[in-house]
Amino acid sequence: MDKQTLINHLNGDLAGELGAIIQYLTYAAKASGPFRPQLSAFFLAEVADEQLHAQFLANKIVSLGGEPTTTPRPVPAARTNKEMLQAIYAAEKQATADYTQRAKEAEELGEGVLHGDREDDEEERLQPAHEDGELPVRGRRPHRGGPGREEPRPAPDGRERPESGRGEL
Ligand SMILES: [Fe+2]
């Protein structure tokens, strides 16, 4: 593992975050049915978080002497609400694995500033999409931001889902 390899891997992560912005934004537009308002609000709320993740990674790449990618990872096709939720769960799970790996790589290089809690956070709140299409976000905690954020975020937004605490859709 050398610095350029870490930069390349971080650029892969950045492509994922840029793709996530597009994914949440377009899925918000495509959400349908009686729960469209809740689904759209949920997806749109994620866009700002993903932007912060992308921002963190772009800054980190530049600080390592790299050039941040401007090419997003392709967004998986998804037609239905259920397919969108499943695609999002898969993407977040992938991000969790990637950041866990990246934290190890960064530490190896003495760049151990990539640890963070976003992975646990996102995976916890994005429990597997259930067969019945239930929105997998019960018990969601306020989002705490991207990997290894260097500055404390303003107070947790305390954002609640419209149907907060009431369970199934
Ligand atoms: Fe993200």
Give, for all 169 residues of the chain, the pLDDT tens digit: 899 999 999 999 999 999 999 999 999 999 999 999 999 999 999 999 999 999 999 999 999 999 999 999 999 999 999 999 999 999 999 999 999 999 999 888 887 656 444 444 444 444 444 344 444 343 343 343 445 444 444 444 444 444 433 333 3
How far is ligand 1, taken at its centre, from the CA of residue 92, in Å?
7
pLDDT at 110: 84
- CA–CA dist 49, 37 (Å, integer): 19
pLDDT tens per residue across span 114-139: 644 444 444 444 444 434 444 434 33
Contact 165, 135 (CB under 8 A): no
Domains and their CATH numbers in the chain: 3-125 (1.20.1260.10)
Ligand 1 centroid to Cα of residue 13, in Å, is 9
pLDDT value of residue 144: 38
CA of 133 to the centre of ligand 1 (A): 22
> 97 CA distance to ligand 1 centroid (A)?
12
What pLDDT score does 118 carry?
47
In angstroms, what is the span from residue 49 Cα to ligand 1's centroid? 7
- pTM given for the model: 0.70
The predicted-structure confidence for 64-84, as pLDDT tens digits, reads as follows 999 999 999 999 999 999 999
Q: What is the predicted pLDDT for the residue at 166?
A: 38
CA of 167 to the centre of ligand 1 (A): 24
Tell me the two tokens of residue 87: 């695609």
- pLDDT, position 168: 36
CA of 95 to the centre of ligand 1 (A): 7
- Ligand 1 centroid–CA 20 distance in Å is 7
Note the helical H segments in the chain.
Answer: 3-30, 36-63, 81-108, 118-125
Query: Ligand 1 centre from 163 Cα, in Å?
Result: 24
